[in-house]
């Protein structure tokens, strides 16, 4: 997998997990990347099926 594709795929998946949906242009980019890299499709399916997100620290006590 090309590094730029990895970065773009990670960004799109992060947006999808954060917002639950993508704008149509980004959704098309994600579809193209998932067709190009079938292993990424399996990884995304696993991540979406695990809806619990573990944060290793307490956000309420984190100084920003």
The pLDDT tens digits of the residues spanning 1-55 come to 688 988 998 899 888 878 778 899 999 999 999 899 888 888 778 777 776 666 5
Distance spanning both ends of the chain, measured CA to CA: 35
Whether pTM exceeds 0.85: no
Quick one: residue 60, left, alpha or beta (phi over 0 = left, psi -120 to 50 = alpha)?
alpha
Task: Sketch the domain layout of the chain as residue ranges.
Answer: 3-48
């Amino acid at each position: 997998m090309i590094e730029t594709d990895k970065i773009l795929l990670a960004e799109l998946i992060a947006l999808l997990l954060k917002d639950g949906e993508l704008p149509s242009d980004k959704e098309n980019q994600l579809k193209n990347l998932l067709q190009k890299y079938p292993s990424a499709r399996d990884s995304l399916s696993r991540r979406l099926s695990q809806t619990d997100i573990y944060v290793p620290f307490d956000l309420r006590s984190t100084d920003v």
